[in-house]
Amino acid sequence: MTTALPDPALDQLFRTARSHYHYDATPVTDADLRAIWDLAKMGPTSANMLPARIVWCTTDDAKRRLADCASSGNVDKILHAPVTAIVGTDLDFPDHLPTLFPPADARSWYVGNSALIETAGLRNSSLQAAYVILAARALGFDTGPMSGFDNDKVDAAFFAGTNIRSNLIMSLGHGDPAALHPRLPRPEFEAYNTVA
Amino acid sequence: MTTALPDPALDQLFRTARSHYHYDATPVTDADLRAIWDLAKMGPTSANMLPARIVWCTTDDAKRRLADCASSGNVDKILHAPVTAIVGTDLDFPDHLPTLFPPADARSWYVGNSALIETAGLRNSSLQAAYVILAARALGFDTGPMSGFDNDKVDAAFFAGTNIRSNLIMSLGHGDPAALHPRLPRPEFEAYNTVA
């Protein structure tokens, strides 16, 4: 039977891990991005739909184009991070299901139902964003997720001519612990959980 | 600087971890559920909104009530799992922001904008569902996420009189590896990623 990971691993993944918005100068390489994807892609999505499409902004030009779409408080966070990733949701994900989910005609569950496509796409793209956050942490990186940007502007700048819609963005690198604010509160089990 | 977790931990979290729908007889205790929550709650959400509300169905009665709302293929999966969790999204999450996010008046960013509340709620509740999946794996458990159920029926049966809306459900226990199907395909980095 599988057992719990040792405490230092649980700390690195959850307990002492923090969102970061200031990073040291250690570069993040393309090989690092591939390693993160190769872990995160293993996480489960409905009918293995894997709707997330990721643009990893690594160049000054790409970060500038993204920063131009962001709320003022996020501009410097984007420009000064080694990488900022845009996680989008491909609303054409049903067309990939014959390949991704061979056991059934899963495409037929979605085509023609745009409300279901949007809800399932957002749900599963967000699951994948969380897998990326935790895969990055598992590999020793820090992330800084952000929702403060103009989705339409990002879609026009990075996803023109596609049915990909931006979901969230996140910076990536090796965080500077000295720049952290105190951790925000987390509720006890009773507050948000029920055992039935 | 933080370093990568050892390979057996990466395997347990991502590489060899699988969604499970058949479990052995090992019980899942209330203390286990608390341990999973105490890890998962540490994951990041926008403005620390933590919109997920979880009902852990542990009794035969609760599992039966949930199974009555599920698609036919999921009924036995729910009834025979030690626990099946309902992850809901509390659309009243803005009212908790003065407590959860003291640095700013984050409540004012959401109140009166029901489209934003629904999108941000689904996005962040889904992030939290992924944190639960990976927290469970980190603690040695397996999960079986499912979307095949009637959301309105689940909301009426478990969230009546609230603004909580069901997002996804997931079984929980110690999976039986002998019951697994072959793993579904996962795309290479180039298929769904761009470096800009």
Q: What is the pLDDT of residues B160-178, one digit of tens each?
A: 999 999 999 999 999 999 9
- Evaluate whether B107 touches B98 at the Cβ level (below 8 Å): yes
Contacts with A44 from chain B: Cβ below 8 Å: 19, 133, 143, 145
Question: Confidence class of residue B46 from pLDDT cuts 50, 70 and 90?
Answer: very high
Which pLDDT score is estimated for B71? 97
Sheet holding A193-195, edge to edge: A193-195, B52-57, B83-90, B164-173, B142-146
What DSSP assignment string belongs to A14-60? IIS----S-B-S----HHHHHHHHHHHTTS--GGG---EEEEEE-SH
Average pLDDT, chain B: 98
Q: Which residue has the tokens 């997720």?
A: A145
- B18-39 pLDDT per residue, tens: 999 999 999 999 999 999 999 9
What does the pLDDT look like over A54-100, one tens digit per residue?
Answer: 999 999 999 999 999 999 999 999 999 999 999 999 999 999 999 99
Angle, in degrees to the nearest 10, between helices A151-158 and A60-67: 150
A181 contacts in chain B (CB < 8 Å): 103
* Arithmetic mean of pLDDT over chain A: 98
Q: How many residues does chain B have?
A: 196
Q: How far apart are CA A174 and CA A9, in angstroms?
A: 17
- Tell me the ipTM for this assembly: 0.98
d(CA A168, CA B32): 31
The answer to whether residue B157 scores a pLDDT higher than 90 is: yes
| CATH pick for A21-172 out of 3.40.50.300, 3.30.420.40, 3.40.109.10, 3.30.70.100 | 3.40.109.10
Distances (CA, A) of B150 to A162, B74, B78: 31, 11, 14
Contacts of residue B25, defined as CB under 8 A and 6 or more positions apart, other chains included, come to none
CA distance A80 to A144: 12
In this prediction, residue B1 carries a pLDDT of 73
Q: What is the reported pLDDT for A1?
A: 73
Pairing of strands A83-90, A52-57: antiparallel
Rounded Cα gap, residues B64 and B80, in angstroms: 10
- CA A21/CA A35 separation, integer angstroms: 22
pLDDT tens digits along A135-151: 999 999 999 999 999 99
Mean pLDDT, range A156-169, rounded to an integer: 98
Q: Which of B126, B149, B168 to mutate to test the interface with A (most CBs of A within 10 A)?
A: B126
**Residues B97-127: tens digit of each pLDDT:** 999 999 999 999 999 999 999 999 999 999 9
CA atoms of B19 and B176, how far apart (whole Å): 10
Q: What is the predicted pLDDT for the residue at A169?
A: 98
Residue with token string 């299901």: A97
Tell the burial category of B164 from Cβ atoms under 10 Å away from its Cβ (0-12, 13-18, 19+): buried
pLDDT tens digits along B62-101: 999 999 999 999 999 999 999 999 999 999 999 999 999 9
Q: What is the pLDDT of residue A184?
A: 97
B42 lies within 8 A of chain A by CB = yes
Query: Averaged over B141-164, what is the pLDDT?
Result: 98
B85 touches chain A (CB under 8 A): no
Residues 10 through 39 of chain B touching chain A, CB cutoff 8 Å:
10, 12-15, 17, 19, 24, 26, 30, 33-34, 37-39
